[in-house]
Chains A and B, each alone.
Chain A
């Protein structure tokens, strides 16, 4: 197992390019009328804002890019949005549902 690097906690910053790993599935459940985040032996119900953020997490866009998009969509100051998005994604990364 020597070849594998020691895993590190992802610290989310403006330049981070977040994505959901393959085993995390964001899905709208029509029957329950909610968005779901399926993870190993866990099911989360992300709130509407988290859903919007997660949809933009494609591993290409940076957190700054995502914040700029949301800032336009929600007509809110970009620096405020950026702070909120960073802390949200840090929380999701610590839950194991977001990586970079």
Chain B
């Protein structure tokens, strides 16, 4: 006991890619339906339709298989997961499978009664998104009138029912000045955690980049505000600050490393190593209707393609950081350099980095164009 150090008695779990029990998290995108139309949605541009969604029984089986595989936490997401009428049954299956359950919601479809039922079933945690603390601006960003007021009500219910609450605040040039008030708001509603999430520029956000990208100066100011708040609110609010790749020196380890800690199941049951992986051409994704999660995790082609470091080219291959950031994001590498095996252009060592960051910087100083709101395509994709 004398050797007990005060520094860190509880460190975050490291995943081991070759181990069946490695996936710590399962991101379950229950549906792509959502009443909000946020222009930075992380869903793909081609949204999956309701008639392709997995059945209740499919999702319950996925939860059981996830528990058996060793998944620890399930993130019930979307789209808007509460748009599924069978959410209670899916949560129950997850709880029965021993999974820690996290509901990632916009809140606007919830009733207090339904939230009570979910709490009774054993839901552990609610992550509620807000678009801004300024209600008018929030509703404009989400293209949903009355959304901000409803979310405020939902935050109150979450606390009243004794559930843990995270406020998720996606940050961009059209709400960035609100950050200090967003932090105050999270404390005021009794959140235990705040995610200050600078937009990640994939899918819809990439389409809207010029309307969303803050200037580097504005970004630096948010970093300072977040750092101060972390110190000031120690023991009151856990703050996670997500940096936009464009203003970072090194890329983020996408999903903690490809096929390393997280699996993502789409509304139709496709199992992806990353929620943007469908943008990579030629990749075959297994479906939970055809194969078990364990087999998909260990043997699925998509999971093995960029798992580990063998696939890397220079400058990743000889980089001392290769097992820290795993070369960043494959999807961003493809979208912006034309080759998914290239270093993420978010990395300052990428030959594409300077040009790529310059475009974003220029955009951030120009007038913001109108949003292209997230909507289902008029016709199903053929």
The number of chain B residues with a CB under 8 A from chain A is 39
A residues less than 8 Å from B8 (CB atoms): 91
A residues less than 8 Å from B10 (CB atoms): 37, 44-47, 50, 91-92, 95, 97
> Do B166 and A41 touch across chains, with their CB atoms under 8 A apart?
yes
A residues less than 8 Å from B6 (CB atoms): 84, 87-88, 91
> Contacts A4-B159, A88-B6: A41 and B1 contacting too (C-beta < 8 A)?
no
> Do B13 and A96 touch across chains, with their CB atoms under 8 A apart?
no
A residues less than 8 Å from B237 (CB atoms): 7
Asked if B369 is at the interface of the complex by the 8 Å CB criterion, the answer is no
Asked if A68 is at the interface of the complex by the 8 Å CB criterion, the answer is no
> Do B12 and A44 touch across chains, with their CB atoms under 8 A apart?
yes
- CA–CA, A95 to B163, complex, Å? 17
Among B84-105, those with CB < 8 Å from A are 100, 102
Q: Which of B188-196, B277-285, B311-319 contacts A (4 or more CB under 8 A)?
A: B188-196
Q: Nearest Cβ distance between residue B255 and chain A, in whole angstroms?
A: 13
> Do A94 and B13 touch across chains, with their CB atoms under 8 A apart?
no
> Do B188 and A1 touch across chains, with their CB atoms under 8 A apart?
yes
- CA–CA, A40 to B193, complex, Å? 8
> Do A81 and B100 touch across chains, with their CB atoms under 8 A apart?
no
A residues less than 8 Å from B1 (CB atoms): 49, 70, 74, 76, 80-81, 84
Asked if B224 is at the interface of the complex by the 8 Å CB criterion, the answer is no
- CA–CA, A43 to B22, complex, Å? 12
> Contacts A10-B235, A96-B238: A36 and B72 contacting too (C-beta < 8 A)?
yes
| Residue of B with least CB distance to A73 | B1
Asked if B324 is at the interface of the complex by the 8 Å CB criterion, the answer is no
> Contacts A31-B21, A41-B127: A25 and B9 contacting too (C-beta < 8 A)?
no
Q: Nearest Cβ distance between residue B69 and chain A, in whole angstroms?
A: 9
Q: Nearest Cβ distance between residue B330 and chain A, in whole angstroms?
A: 23
Contacts A23-B164, A43-B73 aside, 20 further interface pairs with beta carbons under 8 A come to: A4-B159, A6-B187, A7-B190, A23-B163, A31-B21, A36-B13, A40-B102, A40-B125, A40-B164, A40-B192, A41-B75, A41-B102, A43-B72, A46-B10, A49-B9, A70-B1, A91-B8, A95-B238, A96-B192, A96-B238
**Which residues does B use to contact A, with CB under 8 Å?**
1-2, 4, 6-13, 21, 24, 70, 72-73, 75, 100, 102, 124-125, 127, 156, 159, 162-164, 166, 187-190, 192-193, 234-238
- A sample of 18 inter-chain contacts (CB < 8 A) reads A1-B156, A1-B188, A9-B234, A9-B236, A11-B235, A21-B164, A29-B70, A32-B70, A40-B166, A41-B127, A43-B12, A43-B72, A44-B12, A44-B13, A76-B1, A80-B1, A91-B7, A93-B235
